[in-house]
A and B are shown apart, each in its own frame.
Chain A
């Protein structure tokens, strides 16, 4: 693989960039792989990457029915944080955040991780208590966060109106090393690195069935024919139920639409990410200058990647109230994704009733930030059969009533 660097660019500049190889190889499926990962989104590609990097398992295929990174990886608001309340969440999200810190170097692909700082606003007494609780929990979890005053919030984010008549800002939970990254680049960077390790990334290939021998998986049927494998990882987010059904088991998840929008680009005016859970909206400014806006999910099961406009309206209303200068900006584009939510709104990284089949889903609205940590943990689970990071996220926790409920303090937004 040709290394990326300023020098490489300079060299190519003088031969019309004719020397650049494909970022990832185009391959047809082999007859058999040690591991097949279904879903070439961030989570699937990261899983494959760490299988190779951490466990030397490289006879791996990542199968994608569309184009890689084309699902929620490519349609989210790119927020990265690990200021979670519950231990299992804080562990995997902080693992993830720390991997983002060095991802560009690890992958030799600039994913533009920008630890610009993230604030969760407290606008009610209840939120103050909730976030102070999170701050205390984080202090014991090795997650660096701090409770900051309203004045400090204003200092970090001058365009915010902290004296709103309705919900004045009372303070915030600040994670200085939270931020954003370039979402597509995360998928592309992993894909390039996987391909470089000899893994096959097979796009435009849909899994039509899961082949089992008794209770053990032996392969998959695809639109490009049958492919054998010893282990199968299902990492398909919103379509997890559909795929699980093919493997003969069900998942405690539902798929709903999550929407986001961007404004037209403007000059830099906001250097932090702000989440306002009382009014249900979050905001950051992309490197292009667009104000990136997201909110809560739609209420009903939906596979269309289109949402209902009134949710966009509620989110915009909330953010214009909190950031009055936004009013004069224009909505450039709105879009929707399909997110899969579980009974406790926390993900599932788990073995399944089918031997050799592992599932990674249920990230709901919080998936992007978890990509490297999720991949790291999922790879360990698939390679070793267990991982401390996935222990609590097994799909059987619902039977025992052992939930991981983050809505407790953080509200619902991610």
Chain B
């Protein structure tokens, strides 16, 4: 039963107030993209056992999306941050590095 801090409304939200929205930082590929790019965008997922970046929606709360850095093996939360970004803020990355030296995820590390 997770609790995640919603950076949009400041509430430390219970999992039952939230909705998991899948992997974060997916890059959209539209018309004229290659089959491989489109396939990866639609279906290929990191699904790591460890550090993960994912989307959440504060669905019963402020209705806003946010992103979370979480460990799928321990459920430790390294931090939550705005959904309006293409990569995790440095502070989040540093927090992860402090706990999981040498981590990497997609293009991030």
> Contact: A399 with B39, CB < 8 Å?
yes
Closest to A239 in B: B49
Give the Cβ gap from B72 to chain A, nearest Cβ, in Å: 5
Question: Separation in Å of the B57 CB from the closest CB of chain A?
Answer: 11
Are A303 and B73 neighbours in the complex by a CB distance under 8 Å? yes
Whether A308 touches B2, Cβ cut-off 8 Å, given contacts A241-B48, A299-B19, A301-B72, is yes
CB distance from A92 to the nearest CB of B (A): 21
Mask of B30-69 contacts with A, CB within 8 angstroms, 1/0: 0000011001001111111100101000000000000000
In the complex the two chains form, is A398's CB within 8 Å of B39's CB? yes
What's the count of A-B pairs with C-beta under 8 Å? 60
What residue of chain B has the Cβ atom nearest to residue A244's Cβ? B47
Q: How far is B72's CA from A310's CA once the two chains are assembled, in angstroms?
A: 19
Closest to B22 in A: A254
- Residues in B whose Cβ lies below 8 Å from that of A303: 49, 72-73
Chain A hits for B19, CB < 8 A:
299
Give every chain B residue within 8 A of A399 (Cβ-Cβ): 35-36, 39
Please provide the chain A residues from 281 to 312 with a CB less than 8 Å away from any CB of chain B in the complex: 299-304, 308-310
Q: Are A343 and B42 in contact (CB under 8 A)?
A: yes
Task: Tell whether B75 is near chain A: CB-to-CB under 8 Å.
Answer: yes
Answer yes or no: A151 CB below 8 A from chain B CBs: no
Question: In the complex the two chains form, is B54's CB within 8 Å of A301's CB?
Answer: yes
State whether A300 touches B54 (Cβ < 8 A): yes
Question: Do residues A300 and B43 form an inter-chain contact, with CB atoms below 8 A?
Answer: no
A280 to chain B, nearest CB (A): 16
**B91 on the A face (CB < 8 A):** no
A250 touching B44, Cβ below 8 Å: yes
Q: Which of B1-49 contact A (CB under 8 A)?
A: 1-2, 15-16, 19-20, 22-23, 35-36, 39, 42-49
Q: A309-B1, A399-B36 are in contact. Are A304 and B74 (CB under 8 A)?
A: yes
Q: Are A253 and B47 in contact (CB under 8 A)?
A: yes
Instruction: Report A402 CB to chain B, min CB distance, Å.
Output: 12
Query: For the complex, is A242 an interface residue (Cβ under 8 Å from B)?
Result: yes
Q: CA A304 – CA B22 in complex, angstroms?
A: 17
B-side contacts of A309, CB under 8 Å = 1
Closest 6 CB pairs of A and B: A299-B20, A252-B43, A300-B20, A241-B47, A343-B43, A399-B39
Which A residues have a C-beta under 8 Å from some C-beta of B?
239, 241-242, 250-255, 299-304, 308-310, 340, 342-343, 398-399
20 additional A-B residue pairs with CB within 8 Å, beyond A254-B23, A301-B47: A239-B49, A241-B46, A241-B47, A250-B44, A251-B47, A252-B43, A253-B45, A253-B47, A254-B45, A254-B47, A299-B19, A300-B20, A301-B52, A302-B75, A303-B49, A303-B73, A308-B15, A310-B15, A343-B43, A399-B36
List 30 interface pairs A-B (beta carbons < 8 Å), by A numbering: A241-B46, A241-B49, A242-B48, A242-B49, A250-B44, A252-B39, A252-B43, A252-B44, A252-B45, A253-B45, A254-B23, A254-B45, A255-B49, A300-B2, A301-B47, A302-B75, A303-B49, A303-B72, A303-B73, A304-B74, A308-B1, A308-B2, A309-B1, A310-B15, A310-B16, A342-B43, A343-B43, A398-B39, A398-B43, A399-B35
